[in-house]
A and B are shown apart, each in its own frame.
Chain A
Protein backbone atom coordinates (compact mmCIF):
# COMPACT_ATOMS: atom_id res chain seq x y z
CA UNK A 1 0.00 0.00 0.00
CA UNK A 2 1.39 3.37 -0.96
CA UNK A 3 1.43 6.56 1.07
CA UNK A 4 -1.62 8.00 -0.69
CA UNK A 5 -3.67 4.94 0.21
CA UNK A 6 -2.62 5.27 3.82
CA UNK A 7 -3.55 8.96 3.79
CA UNK A 8 -6.91 8.09 2.22
CA UNK A 9 -7.57 5.55 4.96
CA UNK A 10 -6.83 8.14 7.63
CA UNK A 11 -9.01 10.70 5.85
CA UNK A 12 -11.88 8.22 5.50
CA UNK A 13 -11.63 7.26 9.17
CA UNK A 14 -11.66 10.96 10.08
CA UNK A 15 -14.70 11.52 7.88
CA UNK A 16 -16.62 8.58 9.36
CA UNK A 17 -15.76 9.48 12.94
CA UNK A 18 -16.80 13.10 12.28
CA UNK A 19 -20.11 11.89 10.79
CA UNK A 20 -20.75 9.78 13.88
CA UNK A 21 -20.09 12.72 16.18
CA UNK A 22 -22.25 15.01 14.05
CA UNK A 23 -25.16 12.59 14.38
CA UNK A 24 -24.79 12.62 18.16
CA UNK A 25 -25.39 16.39 18.02
CA UNK A 26 -28.17 16.54 20.63
CA UNK A 27 -26.13 14.59 23.16
CA UNK A 28 -23.08 16.73 22.53
CA UNK A 29 -25.07 19.95 22.74
CA UNK A 30 -26.39 18.89 26.15
CA UNK A 31 -22.86 18.08 27.28
CA UNK A 32 -21.75 21.61 26.33
CA UNK A 33 -24.82 23.50 27.54
CA UNK A 34 -25.02 21.95 31.02
CA UNK A 35 -21.82 23.45 32.47
CA UNK A 36 -22.37 26.80 30.71
CA UNK A 37 -25.85 27.01 32.26
CA UNK A 38 -24.37 26.07 35.65
CA UNK A 39 -21.73 28.80 35.38
CA UNK A 40 -24.25 31.42 34.18
CA UNK A 41 -26.63 30.70 37.08
CA UNK A 42 -23.77 31.04 39.57
CA UNK A 43 -22.47 34.22 37.94
CA UNK A 44 -25.79 36.03 37.92
CA UNK A 45 -26.77 34.94 41.43
CA UNK A 46 -23.47 36.02 43.06
CA UNK A 47 -23.30 39.13 45.24
CA UNK A 48 -20.82 42.02 45.04
CA UNK A 49 -18.35 40.66 47.64
CA UNK A 50 -14.68 40.14 46.77
CA UNK A 51 -12.18 37.37 47.32
CA UNK A 52 -8.40 37.20 47.51
CA UNK A 53 -6.66 35.06 44.89
CA UNK A 54 -3.03 34.43 43.93
CA UNK A 55 -2.28 35.55 40.38
CA UNK A 56 0.95 34.43 38.66
CA UNK A 57 2.87 37.35 37.16
CA UNK A 58 6.38 37.87 35.80
CA UNK A 59 7.33 39.14 39.28
CA UNK A 60 5.97 36.10 41.09
CA UNK A 61 2.56 35.39 42.60
CA UNK A 62 0.59 38.51 43.50
CA UNK A 63 -2.41 38.45 45.85
CA UNK A 64 -5.33 40.28 44.21
CA UNK A 65 -8.75 41.21 45.52
CA UNK A 66 -11.25 40.36 42.78
CA UNK A 67 -15.06 40.21 42.65
CA UNK A 68 -16.27 36.70 43.59
CA UNK A 69 -18.34 36.38 40.44
CA UNK A 70 -15.22 37.03 38.34
CA UNK A 71 -13.42 34.17 40.10
CA UNK A 72 -16.02 31.54 39.17
CA UNK A 73 -14.66 30.82 35.69
CA UNK A 74 -11.24 30.10 37.25
CA UNK A 75 -12.42 26.71 38.35
CA UNK A 76 -15.92 26.25 37.02
CA UNK A 77 -15.33 27.66 33.53
CA UNK A 78 -12.23 25.61 32.98
CA UNK A 79 -13.79 22.49 34.44
CA UNK A 80 -16.82 23.01 32.19
CA UNK A 81 -14.61 22.90 29.11
CA UNK A 82 -12.67 19.98 30.56
CA UNK A 83 -15.86 18.05 31.35
CA UNK A 84 -17.27 18.61 27.87
CA UNK A 85 -14.06 17.54 26.10
CA UNK A 86 -13.56 14.51 28.35
CA UNK A 87 -17.12 13.32 27.70
CA UNK A 88 -16.81 13.77 23.93
CA UNK A 89 -13.50 11.87 23.89
CA UNK A 90 -14.88 9.18 26.20
CA UNK A 91 -17.89 8.56 23.94
CA UNK A 92 -15.67 8.56 20.85
CA UNK A 93 -13.45 5.87 22.37
CA UNK A 94 -15.65 3.67 24.52
CA UNK A 95 -18.46 3.40 21.99
CA UNK A 96 -16.25 2.20 19.19
CA UNK A 97 -13.62 -0.05 20.79
CA UNK A 98 -15.02 -3.36 19.50
CA UNK A 99 -15.78 -1.87 16.08
CA UNK A 100 -12.27 -0.44 15.90
CA UNK A 101 -11.01 -3.99 16.57
CA UNK A 102 -13.05 -5.23 13.65
CA UNK A 103 -11.57 -2.51 11.44
CA UNK A 104 -8.08 -3.58 12.55
CA UNK A 105 -8.97 -7.19 11.81
CA UNK A 106 -10.07 -6.11 8.33
CA UNK A 107 -6.82 -4.29 7.62
CA UNK A 108 -6.81 -0.88 9.28
CA UNK A 109 -3.65 -0.04 11.14
CA UNK A 110 -4.56 0.96 14.73
CA UNK A 111 -2.46 4.11 14.36
CA UNK A 112 -4.53 5.24 11.38
CA UNK A 113 -7.73 5.12 13.45
CA UNK A 114 -6.04 6.78 16.41
CA UNK A 115 -4.50 9.53 14.30
CA UNK A 116 -7.87 10.28 12.69
CA UNK A 117 -9.51 10.38 16.14
CA UNK A 118 -6.80 12.66 17.52
CA UNK A 119 -7.16 15.10 14.60
CA UNK A 120 -10.93 15.16 15.05
CA UNK A 121 -10.81 15.64 18.82
CA UNK A 122 -8.14 18.34 18.58
CA UNK A 123 -10.47 20.17 16.20
CA UNK A 124 -13.32 19.77 18.69
CA UNK A 125 -11.04 21.03 21.49
CA UNK A 126 -10.25 24.10 19.39
CA UNK A 127 -13.94 24.86 18.80
CA UNK A 128 -14.70 24.13 22.45
CA UNK A 129 -12.10 26.68 23.52
CA UNK A 130 -13.59 29.37 21.27
CA UNK A 131 -17.23 29.01 22.42
CA UNK A 132 -16.73 29.94 26.13
CA UNK A 133 -14.29 32.65 25.10
CA UNK A 134 -17.10 34.47 23.32
CA UNK A 135 -18.88 34.57 26.71
CA UNK A 136 -15.89 35.26 28.94
CA UNK A 137 -14.38 38.14 26.96
CA UNK A 138 -17.41 40.49 27.02
CA UNK A 139 -18.52 39.49 30.54
CA UNK A 140 -15.17 39.28 32.34
CA UNK A 141 -13.07 41.79 30.34
CA UNK A 142 -9.82 39.78 30.65
CA UNK A 143 -6.47 41.58 30.51
CA UNK A 144 -5.13 39.13 27.91
CA UNK A 145 -7.88 37.27 25.98
CA UNK A 146 -5.39 35.19 23.96
CA UNK A 147 -3.94 33.70 27.18
CA UNK A 148 -7.47 32.89 28.26
CA UNK A 149 -7.95 31.10 24.94
CA UNK A 150 -4.66 29.22 25.44
CA UNK A 151 -5.82 28.10 28.91
CA UNK A 152 -9.13 26.86 27.50
CA UNK A 153 -7.45 25.08 24.58
CA UNK A 154 -4.82 23.40 26.77
CA UNK A 155 -7.39 22.28 29.34
CA UNK A 156 -9.41 20.86 26.42
CA UNK A 157 -6.39 18.91 25.16
CA UNK A 158 -5.60 17.53 28.61
CA UNK A 159 -9.25 16.62 29.21
CA UNK A 160 -9.61 14.84 25.88
CA UNK A 161 -6.70 12.59 26.80
CA UNK A 162 -8.27 11.97 30.22
CA UNK A 163 -11.50 11.04 28.41
CA UNK A 164 -9.62 8.69 26.07
CA UNK A 165 -7.79 7.12 28.99
CA UNK A 166 -11.01 6.52 30.93
CA UNK A 167 -12.58 5.20 27.72
CA UNK A 168 -9.76 2.67 27.39
CA UNK A 169 -9.76 1.67 31.07
CA UNK A 170 -13.51 1.72 31.80
CA UNK A 171 -15.29 1.21 28.48
CA UNK A 172 -18.76 0.88 30.07
CA UNK A 173 -20.73 4.11 29.65
CA UNK A 174 -22.30 4.50 33.10
CA UNK A 175 -19.16 3.79 35.10
CA UNK A 176 -17.01 5.85 32.73
CA UNK A 177 -19.24 8.93 32.92
CA UNK A 178 -19.47 8.65 36.71
CA UNK A 179 -15.68 8.52 36.83
CA UNK A 180 -15.45 11.71 34.70
CA UNK A 181 -18.01 13.48 36.91
CA UNK A 182 -16.07 12.43 40.03
CA UNK A 183 -12.74 13.51 38.57
CA UNK A 184 -13.83 16.95 37.42
CA UNK A 185 -15.92 17.41 40.57
CA UNK A 186 -12.63 17.06 42.46
CA UNK A 187 -11.05 19.44 39.96
CA UNK A 188 -13.65 22.10 40.76
CA UNK A 189 -13.31 21.90 44.50
CA UNK A 190 -9.61 21.20 44.98
CA UNK A 191 -7.66 24.17 46.38
CA UNK A 192 -4.28 25.06 47.90
CA UNK A 193 -1.16 22.92 47.48
CA UNK A 194 -3.19 19.84 46.51
CA UNK A 195 -4.45 21.65 43.40
CA UNK A 196 -0.91 21.63 41.99
CA UNK A 197 -1.14 17.86 41.54
CA UNK A 198 -4.31 18.03 39.48
CA UNK A 199 -3.58 17.73 35.72
CA UNK A 200 -5.48 20.89 34.83
CA UNK A 201 -3.41 23.04 37.24
CA UNK A 202 -1.23 24.69 34.53
CA UNK A 203 -4.35 25.70 32.59
CA UNK A 204 -5.84 27.16 35.77
CA UNK A 205 -2.73 29.26 36.39
CA UNK A 206 -2.78 30.41 32.77
CA UNK A 207 -6.40 31.42 33.16
CA UNK A 208 -5.62 33.47 36.27
CA UNK A 209 -2.71 35.26 34.70
CA UNK A 210 -4.61 35.97 31.49
CA UNK A 211 -7.66 37.25 33.31
CA UNK A 212 -6.07 39.46 35.98
CA UNK A 213 -2.31 40.05 35.48
CA UNK A 214 -0.95 43.21 33.86
CA UNK A 215 2.38 41.39 33.24
CA UNK A 216 1.24 37.80 32.65
CA UNK A 217 3.39 34.72 33.20
CA UNK A 218 2.31 32.27 30.50
CA UNK A 219 5.18 30.27 29.01
CA UNK A 220 6.02 27.92 31.93
CA UNK A 221 2.34 26.95 32.27
CA UNK A 222 1.98 26.39 28.52
CA UNK A 223 5.02 24.10 28.61
CA UNK A 224 3.79 22.26 31.69
CA UNK A 225 0.31 21.89 30.22
CA UNK A 226 1.60 20.52 26.93
CA UNK A 227 3.90 18.11 28.79
CA UNK A 228 0.94 16.75 30.79
CA UNK A 229 -1.00 16.45 27.52
CA UNK A 230 1.81 14.45 25.86
CA UNK A 231 2.26 12.14 28.88
CA UNK A 232 -1.48 11.48 29.13
CA UNK A 233 -1.63 10.90 25.35
CA UNK A 234 1.12 8.28 25.59
CA UNK A 235 -0.55 6.48 28.49
CA UNK A 236 -3.99 6.62 26.82
CA UNK A 237 -2.50 5.32 23.55
CA UNK A 238 -0.82 2.36 25.26
CA UNK A 239 -4.05 1.33 27.00
CA UNK A 240 -6.11 1.85 23.81
CA UNK A 241 -3.64 -0.19 21.75
CA UNK A 242 -3.80 -2.95 24.38
CA UNK A 243 -7.59 -2.88 24.18
CA UNK A 244 -7.91 -3.21 20.40
CA UNK A 245 -4.91 -5.37 19.56
CA UNK A 246 -5.42 -8.60 17.63
CA UNK A 247 -3.49 -11.80 18.29
CA UNK A 248 -1.85 -12.65 14.98
Chain B
Protein backbone atom coordinates (compact mmCIF):
# COMPACT_ATOMS: atom_id res chain seq x y z
CA UNK B 1 0.00 0.00 0.00
CA UNK B 2 1.05 3.54 -0.67
CA UNK B 3 0.61 4.39 3.02
CA UNK B 4 3.13 1.67 3.80
CA UNK B 5 5.41 3.12 1.16
CA UNK B 6 5.02 6.49 2.84
CA UNK B 7 5.62 4.89 6.23
CA UNK B 8 8.83 3.41 4.89
CA UNK B 9 9.93 6.85 3.83
CA UNK B 10 8.98 8.11 7.23
CA UNK B 11 10.79 5.31 9.01
CA UNK B 12 14.03 5.51 7.13
CA UNK B 13 14.52 9.09 6.19
CA UNK B 14 13.20 11.36 8.90
CA UNK B 15 15.65 12.03 11.66
CA UNK B 16 13.92 12.61 14.95
CA UNK B 17 14.35 16.04 16.44
CA UNK B 18 16.52 15.66 19.53
CA UNK B 19 18.51 18.63 20.56
CA UNK B 20 19.42 21.82 18.81
CA UNK B 21 23.01 20.74 18.53
CA UNK B 22 22.50 17.21 17.27
CA UNK B 23 23.93 16.34 13.86
CA UNK B 24 20.58 15.02 12.71
CA UNK B 25 18.95 18.29 13.61
CA UNK B 26 21.55 20.13 11.55
CA UNK B 27 20.90 17.76 8.63
CA UNK B 28 17.24 18.64 8.58
CA UNK B 29 18.13 22.25 7.78
CA UNK B 30 20.40 21.38 4.90
CA UNK B 31 18.63 22.85 1.90
CA UNK B 32 17.62 20.36 -0.75
CA UNK B 33 17.08 23.24 -3.11
CA UNK B 34 18.98 26.50 -3.33
CA UNK B 35 18.16 29.17 -5.89
CA UNK B 36 20.46 32.16 -5.86
CA UNK B 37 19.95 35.40 -7.76
CA UNK B 38 18.29 33.79 -10.78
CA UNK B 39 17.55 36.07 -13.72
CA UNK B 40 15.66 35.18 -16.86
CA UNK B 41 14.41 37.21 -19.76
CA UNK B 42 12.64 36.36 -23.01
CA UNK B 43 13.62 39.01 -25.53
CA UNK B 44 12.83 42.33 -23.88
CA UNK B 45 10.61 40.78 -21.23
CA UNK B 46 12.39 40.36 -17.90
CA UNK B 47 10.54 37.50 -16.19
CA UNK B 48 12.83 36.83 -13.22
CA UNK B 49 14.94 39.62 -11.75
CA UNK B 50 17.06 38.01 -9.09
CA UNK B 51 15.08 35.21 -7.45
CA UNK B 52 16.42 33.68 -4.22
CA UNK B 53 14.79 30.62 -2.72
CA UNK B 54 15.71 27.87 -0.29
CA UNK B 55 13.79 24.68 0.47
CA UNK B 56 14.96 22.48 3.34
CA UNK B 57 14.11 18.87 4.13
CA UNK B 58 10.54 18.38 5.27
CA UNK B 59 9.38 21.77 4.03
CA UNK B 60 6.38 22.42 1.83
CA UNK B 61 6.96 25.72 0.09
CA UNK B 62 4.31 27.43 -1.96
CA UNK B 63 4.83 29.95 -4.72
CA UNK B 64 1.86 31.94 -5.80
CA UNK B 65 1.46 34.78 -8.24
CA UNK B 66 -0.67 35.96 -11.11
CA UNK B 67 -0.85 34.13 -14.43
CA UNK B 68 2.28 34.94 -16.40
CA UNK B 69 4.22 36.07 -13.35
CA UNK B 70 7.01 33.55 -14.06
CA UNK B 71 6.18 30.66 -11.70
CA UNK B 72 6.45 28.00 -14.40
CA UNK B 73 9.60 29.62 -15.79
CA UNK B 74 11.22 29.47 -12.35
CA UNK B 75 10.27 25.81 -11.91
CA UNK B 76 11.54 24.95 -15.40
CA UNK B 77 14.86 26.60 -14.57
CA UNK B 78 15.06 24.66 -11.31
CA UNK B 79 14.57 21.27 -13.00
CA UNK B 80 16.72 22.12 -16.02
CA UNK B 81 14.17 22.52 -18.79
CA UNK B 82 15.26 26.14 -19.21
CA UNK B 83 18.59 27.81 -18.65
CA UNK B 84 18.89 30.96 -16.59
CA UNK B 85 20.69 34.10 -17.81
CA UNK B 86 22.31 34.66 -14.46
CA UNK B 87 22.35 32.98 -11.06
CA UNK B 88 22.67 29.51 -9.67
CA UNK B 89 20.43 26.53 -8.87
CA UNK B 90 21.49 23.67 -6.60
CA UNK B 91 19.35 20.56 -6.20
CA UNK B 92 20.41 17.85 -3.74
CA UNK B 93 18.98 14.37 -4.19
CA UNK B 94 16.39 13.01 -6.57
CA UNK B 95 13.60 15.28 -7.68
CA UNK B 96 10.17 14.66 -9.13
CA UNK B 97 8.73 17.22 -11.52
CA UNK B 98 5.08 17.61 -12.35
CA UNK B 99 4.73 20.07 -15.25
CA UNK B 100 1.75 22.34 -15.71
CA UNK B 101 0.87 20.76 -19.07
CA UNK B 102 0.94 17.00 -18.51
CA UNK B 103 3.64 15.75 -20.85
CA UNK B 104 2.24 12.27 -21.36
CA UNK B 105 2.28 9.80 -24.22
CA UNK B 106 -1.22 10.19 -25.62
CA UNK B 107 -1.29 6.90 -27.53
CA UNK B 108 -0.19 4.86 -24.52
CA UNK B 109 -2.44 3.74 -21.68
CA UNK B 110 -2.11 5.06 -18.15
CA UNK B 111 -0.37 1.82 -17.15
CA UNK B 112 2.05 1.98 -20.09
CA UNK B 113 2.96 5.59 -19.29
CA UNK B 114 3.72 4.50 -15.73
CA UNK B 115 5.85 1.59 -16.97
CA UNK B 116 7.75 3.86 -19.38
CA UNK B 117 8.55 6.51 -16.77
CA UNK B 118 9.38 3.87 -14.15
CA UNK B 119 12.05 2.58 -16.53
CA UNK B 120 13.32 6.13 -16.95
CA UNK B 121 13.77 6.37 -13.17
CA UNK B 122 15.62 3.05 -13.22
CA UNK B 123 12.90 1.14 -11.34
CA UNK B 124 12.30 -2.45 -12.32
CA UNK B 125 8.93 -3.22 -13.87
CA UNK B 126 7.46 -4.89 -10.78
CA UNK B 127 8.45 -2.05 -8.48
CA UNK B 128 7.21 0.64 -10.87
CA UNK B 129 3.88 -1.08 -11.46
CA UNK B 130 3.38 -1.65 -7.73
CA UNK B 131 4.04 2.00 -6.86
CA UNK B 132 1.90 3.13 -9.77
CA UNK B 133 -0.96 0.94 -8.55
CA UNK B 134 -0.73 2.33 -5.03
CA UNK B 135 -0.73 5.90 -6.26
CA UNK B 136 -3.61 5.25 -8.67
CA UNK B 137 -5.59 3.84 -5.75
CA UNK B 138 -4.86 6.84 -3.53
CA UNK B 139 -5.84 9.26 -6.28
CA UNK B 140 -8.86 7.13 -7.20
CA UNK B 141 -8.08 6.59 -10.85
CA UNK B 142 -7.15 2.89 -10.98
CA UNK B 143 -10.27 2.13 -13.05
CA UNK B 144 -8.72 4.06 -15.96
CA UNK B 145 -5.42 2.15 -15.97
CA UNK B 146 -6.06 0.50 -19.35
CA UNK B 147 -7.47 3.58 -21.03
CA UNK B 148 -5.44 5.48 -23.59
CA UNK B 149 -4.21 8.77 -22.16
CA UNK B 150 -5.81 10.74 -25.00
CA UNK B 151 -9.20 9.47 -23.85
CA UNK B 152 -8.76 10.52 -20.20
CA UNK B 153 -10.42 13.58 -18.70
CA UNK B 154 -8.28 16.61 -17.85
CA UNK B 155 -8.37 15.82 -14.14
CA UNK B 156 -7.33 12.18 -14.61
CA UNK B 157 -4.50 13.21 -16.92
CA UNK B 158 -3.32 15.58 -14.22
CA UNK B 159 -3.46 12.72 -11.69
CA UNK B 160 -1.30 10.60 -13.99
CA UNK B 161 1.05 13.56 -14.33
CA UNK B 162 1.35 13.70 -10.55
CA UNK B 163 1.75 9.92 -10.20
CA UNK B 164 4.67 9.97 -12.64
CA UNK B 165 6.45 12.62 -10.57
CA UNK B 166 6.00 10.50 -7.41
CA UNK B 167 6.97 7.07 -8.78
CA UNK B 168 10.62 7.03 -7.74
CA UNK B 169 10.18 8.37 -4.20
CA UNK B 170 11.97 11.69 -4.84
CA UNK B 171 13.64 13.79 -2.14
CA UNK B 172 11.97 16.91 -3.45
CA UNK B 173 8.81 17.29 -5.47
CA UNK B 174 8.54 20.26 -7.80
CA UNK B 175 4.92 20.74 -8.75
CA UNK B 176 3.53 23.23 -11.22
CA UNK B 177 -0.20 23.68 -10.64
CA UNK B 178 -0.51 19.99 -9.75
CA UNK B 179 -4.19 19.93 -8.85
CA UNK B 180 -5.78 21.82 -11.73
CA UNK B 181 -8.82 19.91 -12.94
CA UNK B 182 -9.01 17.77 -9.78
CA UNK B 183 -12.36 17.09 -8.17
CA UNK B 184 -12.59 18.21 -4.53
CA UNK B 185 -11.94 14.73 -3.13
CA UNK B 186 -8.79 14.30 -5.21
CA UNK B 187 -7.71 17.81 -4.25
CA UNK B 188 -7.91 16.80 -0.59
CA UNK B 189 -6.09 13.53 -1.35
CA UNK B 190 -3.33 15.57 -2.94
CA UNK B 191 -2.81 17.61 0.23
CA UNK B 192 -2.94 14.44 2.32
CA UNK B 193 -0.15 12.97 0.21
CA UNK B 194 1.78 16.23 0.55
CA UNK B 195 1.34 16.17 4.31
CA UNK B 196 2.53 12.55 4.57
CA UNK B 197 5.53 13.20 2.38
CA UNK B 198 6.36 16.22 4.51
CA UNK B 199 6.18 14.10 7.66
CA UNK B 200 8.47 11.63 5.92
CA UNK B 201 11.13 14.31 5.51
CA UNK B 202 10.41 14.95 1.86
CA UNK B 203 10.32 18.48 0.51
CA UNK B 204 7.74 19.97 -1.81
CA UNK B 205 7.82 23.10 -3.90
CA UNK B 206 4.40 23.86 -5.31
CA UNK B 207 3.46 26.70 -7.63
CA UNK B 208 -0.12 27.74 -8.21
CA UNK B 209 -2.02 31.00 -8.69
CA UNK B 210 -4.46 29.73 -6.06
CA UNK B 211 -3.07 28.60 -2.71
CA UNK B 212 -6.00 27.98 -0.37
CA UNK B 213 -4.53 25.22 1.79
CA UNK B 214 -1.98 27.43 3.54
CA UNK B 215 -2.07 25.30 6.70
CA UNK B 216 -0.06 22.63 4.88
CA UNK B 217 2.62 25.06 3.82
CA UNK B 218 5.80 25.79 5.72
CA UNK B 219 6.49 28.93 3.72
CA UNK B 220 4.65 30.81 1.05
CA UNK B 221 6.05 33.29 -1.44
CA UNK B 222 4.48 35.55 -3.99
CA UNK B 223 6.22 36.01 -7.31
CA UNK B 224 5.69 39.60 -8.32
CA UNK B 225 7.59 41.78 -10.78
CA UNK B 226 10.19 39.06 -11.19
CA UNK B 227 10.99 38.75 -7.48
CA UNK B 228 9.85 36.45 -4.70
CA UNK B 229 8.24 38.13 -1.74
CA UNK B 230 7.17 36.49 1.52
Residues of A within 8 A of B (CB): 1, 5, 8-9, 12-13, 16, 19-20, 23-24, 96, 98-99, 101-103, 105-108, 246-248
With contacts A20-B105, A24-B107, A98-B103 taken as known, whether A105 is within 8 angstroms of B97 at the C-beta atoms is yes
Q: Which listed residue, B81, B107, B120, B122, touches A20 by the CB 8 Å rule?
A: B107
Interface size counted on chain B using CB atoms at 8 A: 24
Q: List the A side residues contacting B108 at CB < 8 Å.
A: 16, 19-20
Q: Restricting to B129-162, which residues have a CB under 8 Å from any CB of A? A: 148
Min Cβ gap B122→A in Å is 6
The residue in chain A whose Cβ has the minimal distance to the Cβ of B97 is: A105
A residues less than 8 Å from B168 (CB atoms): 106
Q: Is the CB of B81 within 8 A of A101?
A: yes
Known: A19-B112, A99-B103, A106-B164. 15 other contacts (CB 8 A): A8-B119, A9-B120, A16-B105, A101-B81, A102-B97, A102-B99, A103-B120, A105-B80, A105-B97, A106-B120, A107-B120, A107-B121, A107-B122, A247-B77, A247-B82
Whether A96 contacts B80 by the Cβ 8 Å rule is: no
B171 within 8 A of A: no
Query: How far, in angstroms, from A103 to B83 measured CA to CA in the complex?
Result: 18
| CB pair A12 B81 closer than 8 Å | no
- The interface of chain B, by Cβ under 8 A from chain A, is 77, 79-83, 97, 99, 103-105, 107-108, 112, 115-117, 119-122, 148, 164, 168
| CB closest chain-B residue, reference A102 | B103
B103–A12 contact, CB under 8 A? no
Chain B positions within 8 Å of A98 at CB level: 103
Q: What's the nearest-Cβ distance from chain B to residue A1, in Å?
A: 6
Give the residues in chain A near B122, CB-CB below 8 Å: 1, 5, 107
Q: In whole Å, how far is B92's beta carbon from the nearest beta carbon of chain A?
A: 13
B120 and A108: CB pair below 8 A? Answer: yes
User: Which residues of chain B are near A20, meaning CB under 8 Å?
Assistant: 105, 107-108
A246 contacts which of B81, B103, B112 (Cβ < 8 Å)? B81
Offer 15 A-B interface pairs, CB within 8 angstroms, sorted by A: A9-B120, A12-B116, A12-B119, A16-B112, A20-B107, A99-B104, A102-B97, A102-B117, A105-B80, A105-B81, A106-B164, A107-B120, A247-B80, A247-B83, A248-B80
A105 pairs with B79, CB closer than 8 A: yes
User: A23 to B103, Cβ gap below 8 A?
Assistant: no
Bound together, the chains give a CA A13 to CA B112 distance in angstroms of 11
Residues of A within 8 A of B77 (CB): 247
- Cα A226 to Cα B112 in complex, Å, equals 36
**How many angstroms from the CA of A9 to the CA of B124 in the assembled complex?**
10
Q: Which residues of A contact B105 (CB under 8 A)?
A: 16, 20, 96, 99
Determine the distance from Cα of A96 to Cα of B97 in the docked complex, in whole angstroms: 18
